Amino acid sequence: MPVLPGAEPFRHEGGEVGVLLCHGFTGSPQSLRPWADHLAERDLTVSLPLLPGHGTRWEDMQVTGWQDWYAEVDRELRDLVERCAQVFVLGLSMGGALALRLAAKHGDAVSGLVLVNPGNKVHGLAAHALPVARHLVRTTKGVADDIALEGSHEVGYTRVPLHAAHSLRRFFRLVDGELPQVTQPTLLLHSLQDHVVPPADSARILSRISSTDVTEILLEQSYHVATLDHDAERIFDESYAFIGRLAPSVGKKGSTAGG
C-alpha cells in the first residue's frame, strides 16, 4: 500500500549524538518532520520511523497493535545505540508513551527524553466499552489535526480502528506500570488546550517517573499536535538546548559519527 504524501520515514546521518523521534497514534512522521529537520540541520543523527499500520489507510492499522508499533521504535533505537555515542528519544502523544517504555527497558542506553503532550490513557471512545465495542463497530471518528495554527495540517487518519484503539489502551496501562523504571533526564512540554490528551496525562507521568532531572514547559498557544503549531519553534529550540546540556559534543566543531 503506498505511503501518504509527507508520511514517509526520515533518516539523517549526522554526528555522534543520535535522536529517535516517535510519532503518534493514527499519525505519521509528517507531524514530526520539521522537528527532525531542525535537529538534522544541527548535525545530529536522526531517525524518524513510520510505525506499522500508519501513514497509508486506516484499514492497514486495523490489523496492527502496540507490539508492532513498539517493536519498530525498539529496532530503531538499537540501531542508533550501535552507531552513536549518546541517544535521545523524543515523542509526541502515543510516541511519548513509546519513548517512556524505551527508557524503562533500555536504561542507560537512553540519555534523555523529550515528551510533547504524551498520552497515558485512552480518553473518549467510550474507552471502557472498547473490549466489546471493537467486535461490533470497526471505527470511530479520527483524532488528527488538533492544531490551533490556521493552515497547518496533520497527515493522519480520519477514522480510528477500534481494534487498534483497544490495543493502545492496553499499551498505556502497561507503560503506566513501568513509569517508575524511568530515571533519565526528562523534558516534558504540554499544551494548556489539548482536545486529544488532557494535561492530567502529563501530570500523572511526571508524578510516577523516577527521574530527578525534570523540566516541565507549558505551551500556551498550541493544541495537541504542538510540533506543527504556534509553539513548534519553541519545542525545537528547547529540545536542542536540552540535548546540548546532556551531550557536550553537540554544537561543537569536529564531532564525528560513531562512538
Q: What is residue 176's three-state secondary structure?
A: helix
Residue 59 in any domain: the answer is: yes
Residue 185 in any domain: the answer is: yes
Convert the pLDDT of each residue in 62-120 to its tens digit: 999 999 999 999 999 999 999 999 999 999 999 999 999 999 999 999 999 999 999 99
Annotated binding-site residue numbers: 25, 94
Domain extent at residue 82? 10-246
Residue 252 in any domain: the answer is: no
Residue 23 in any domain: the answer is: yes
CATH number, domain containing residue 22:
3.40.50.1820
Q: Given strand 86-92, what is the order of strands in its sheet?
A: 10-12, 45-48, 17-22, 86-92, 112-116, 186-191, 214-219
Residue 259 in any domain: the answer is: no
Residue 258 in any domain: the answer is: no
Residues annotated as catalytic are 93, 194, 224
Cell 505519521 sits at which residue?
28
CA dist 82 and 219 (Å) reads: 34
- Size of the chain, expressed as the number of residues it contains: 259
Residue 121 in any domain: the answer is: yes
Residue 79 in any domain: the answer is: yes
pTM for the whole thing? 0.93
Average pLDDT value over all residues in the chain? 92
Number of domains in the chain: 1
Q: pLDDT category, 142, cuts 50, 70, 90?
A: confident
Annotated binding-site residue numbers for substrate: 25, 94
